[in-house]
Amino acid sequence: MRTPTIAGPTSVASGRSDALPAREHLPVNTAGRPVLDVVIPVYNEEKDLEPCVRRLHEYLLRTFPYGFRITVADNASTDTTPAVAAGLAAEVPEVRSVRLEEKGRGRALRTVWSGSDAPVLAYMDVDLSTDLNALLPLVAPLISGHSDLAIGSRLARSSRVVRGPKREFISRAYNLILRGSLAARFSDAQCGFKAIRRDVAERLLPMVEDTGWFFDTEMLVLAERAGLRIHEVPVDWVDDPESTVRIVRTATDDLKGVWRVGRALATGSLPLDRLARPFGDDPRDRELSGVPGGLARQLVGFCVVGALSTLFYLALYSLFRLGVGPQAANAGALLVSAVANTAANRRLTFGVRGRDRAVRHQAQGLVVFAIGLALTSGSLAALGAATGDPAHSTELAVLIVANLAATVLRFLLFRLWVFPDRVSSRNER
């Protein structure tokens, strides 16, 4: 690829350290260097580019409390877009233009972000579909040291979005695919409104292979898997009816990217440990003697919850057994204790707080319950076939053994499927 030509202020790339430092508040009073660099990737946008840049520039001058730069990243446009961008860079001090001879939004972002000297790097689409009032909430957590990346979300409950049913369906379907295949927790991968700290970008961008529209998704998935903190901002967003994005081709490329990234994560070929770093004063990351971490901590919590759940289950079974047969008593006791067990493990063992995905977790817990029911019911059926009319103590003994087997399977399913832990591997290194 040819070296891009840059009009406007010259960037100074920062050096890399061997490890990411603890997150801290970024300096905001550095003379001659902007705090924020907003990139606008464009391809043949000669009509919309100038009004977009001037509107964004006026907004930032009026409301943004820190120094900023607007960078127009031209993706090999064939119209007069390069001339418009160069004219803006020559006229407006806070604007520069970068010309790339190859297409690709991801390529443009990687090129500009890798050469920027601003501590916070962002981008937005040229149509300014996202309300600009979300810009400061987007970058503030990065400046303060709270988060590593930030994304605008059109799928948050408080977001207000205007777009057609076709794009709405595609967007939600895509994010469901990401959640199901790559266990992504962020809500909106495709919104063209994102920001990242430069120190994180220096480590993360070399791991991102895609140069097109999947660039955003790949970057977010790798960051999340590495344990970096992603802040989500609800946005007001209005669809651009004249968008030139080819939906079918983009969707096909995205699915190929999902497969490639999923395979890389499954084989462990990505050096995600290069992104690991201490998170400031977070007490959860402190090394304390006598306190187990990662897998060991989860095992201890699971065993405690499991022991209490077993006692609760046996008490319920004995109570239900007074009025119904062994199979019905077992099913009822196991169902009630399974709901309580999932809720307790969700909060105490795996540290999931709040109501987010609580219904989904309970539904997955019921699938695990069904497996446990099959094991225990099968054991009771086998006991009944072997002895005819077993004593109550014998039933309890068989159920204890069957529950031990179900417990081991339950822990594995909870850890790998219901509550996949992305941080434990880093804590155990």
Task: Give catalytic residue positions.
Answer: 216
First vs last C-alpha separation in the chain = 38
Q: What is the DSSP letter of 13?
A: P
Distances (CA, A) of 191 to 168, 186, 214: 12, 11, 12
Rg (CA), the chain: 27
Q: What is the DSSP letter of 18?
A: S
- Which tokens sit at 273? 């440990």
Q: Which helix (H) or strand (E) holds 122?
A: strand 120-124
Cβ-based neighbours of 175, under 8 Å, separated by 6 or more: 155, 184, 187, 188, 189, 190
What's the CA gap between 301 and 289, in Å, rounded? Answer: 17
Question: Considering only CA atoms, which of 248, 261, 263 is closest in space to residue 220?
Answer: 261
Q: Which helix (H) or strand (E) holds 257?
A: helix 247-267
How many C-beta neighbours within 10 Å does residue 324 have?
12
Return the residue matching tokens 């903190």. Answer: 229
What's the CA gap between 284 and 269, in Å, rounded? Answer: 28
Longest dimension (CA), the chain: 93
- Which tokens sit at 136? 């400061």
Question: Considering only CA atoms, which of 33, 3, 61, 24 is closest in space to residue 146?
Answer: 24
Bridge-based pairing of strands 68-75 and 95-100 is: parallel
How many degrees, rounded to 5, is the angle at CA 5 between CA 189 and CA 93?
A: 80
Question: Considering only CA atoms, which of 115, 114, 43, 112 is closest in space to residue 74?
Answer: 43
H helix and E strand count, the chain:
13, 10
Query: Is 244 in contact with 196 (CB distance < 8 Å)?
Result: no
Query: Is 222 in contact with 244 (CB distance < 8 Å)?
Result: no
Strand runs (DSSP E) across 295-425, as ranges?
Answer: none
